Amino acid sequence: MTGMDMEAPVLALVGFAREHFSPDAQDRANMALKLDHCLRVFQEAETITIREGLQPDATRRSLWAALFHDVGRFPQYATHKTFDDRKSTDHGSLGVRTLKRRGLLAALDEHDRKAVLAAVILHNKRFLPPDLPDWAAVPARVVRDADKLDIFQVMIEHLRPGARNNPVVTLGLHDEPAVCTDALVEQILAGKLGDYARMRTLNDFRLLLCSWVYDLNFPASRQAVEERGHLNELLDDLPDLQKIRRVRETVLSALERK
């Protein structure tokens, strides 16, 4: 434990989320999944701040930002019935508007609030701006890593062969066990983060998740991915092709980089 009292903001998030829960059982299940995700990302962030020995300011900002990073998901789903930003709205920006409108960060001072809002708006962008000052960059990096650590677990459960395909989670991608999109494989072999827009199949989603190792900011995060065996599990479900063997070597060696 960090010793920080986070009970009030946790209850505030849960209360806010529940306001948006729909009477429809499937919609409610999708939103409950997101609320659970927020709470687990908060826990992942706490582990990172402890393992990396972050200072109290950076720790407090990281924990608040992790807890509220996906607050925009609740109004997004209530309005659009999807978590796909391309079909609705940028949930990072919506999260910032929501936090301001609802005064959910009122307990924080101005500097903390700015750092949390920056981390929320930046958590779902492809890259962080290179010139971001540390007070904003450190919480943003913690949230991005913590978010990826949890999405890894959730996606792996949904991508396991035989798992019930929930199109809201797997973005409606098709299950074609023998097919990987070459454009995505090339990106990953070049050491680049996979591009969502290039995904066509569930295998492409597995490849995209593998490419996240290039975008982990802290050794504690790479250590967590390694301990949980996520990359091997994803790679084992991909077709046995020469190009996939090269992907395996490339991403596993990126994970070992400390």
Contacts with Fe ion by CB under 5 A lie at 70, 124
When the beta carbons of 124 and 203 are compared against Fe ion, the nearer one is 124
Among all chains, which residue has been given the structure tokens 């983060």?
193
3-state helix, strand, coil in the chain (%, to 5): 65, 0, 35
The H or E element that residue 138 is part of is helix 134-159
Total residue count of the chain as it appears in this document: 258
When the beta carbons of 30 and 124 are compared against Fe ion, the nearer one is 124
When the beta carbons of 86 and 246 are compared against Fe ion, the nearer one is 86
Question: Which tokens belong to 182?
Answer: 């070459």
Q: How far apart, in whole angstroms, are the C-alpha atoms of residue 193 and residue 209? A: 9
CA 175 → CA 38, 159, 206, distances in Å? 28, 9, 11
| Least gap, CB of 8 to Fe ion (angstroms) | 22
| Least gap, CB of 221 to Fe ion (angstroms) | 16
Cβ 158 vs Cβ 166: under 8 Å = yes
When the beta carbons of 122 and 238 are compared against Fe ion, the nearer one is 122
Instruction: Tell me how far the alpha carbon of residue 156 is from its chain's centroid.
Output: 13
| Least gap, CB of 73 to Fe ion (angstroms) | 7
When the beta carbons of 83 and 214 are compared against Fe ion, the nearer one is 83
| Least gap, CB of 1 to Fe ion (angstroms) | 25
H-type helices in 20-55, by residue range? 25-51
Q: Which residue in the shown chain puts its C-beta closest to Fe ion?
A: 70
Cβ 231 vs Cβ 254: under 8 Å = no
When the beta carbons of 124 and 201 are compared against Fe ion, the nearer one is 124
| Least gap, CB of 65 to Fe ion (angstroms) | 11
CA atoms within 13 A on the CB side of 19: 14
| Least gap, CB of 91 to Fe ion (angstroms) | 6
When the beta carbons of 9 and 95 are compared against Fe ion, the nearer one is 95
CA atoms within 13 A on the CB side of 213: 30
| Least gap, CB of 124 to Fe ion (angstroms) | 5
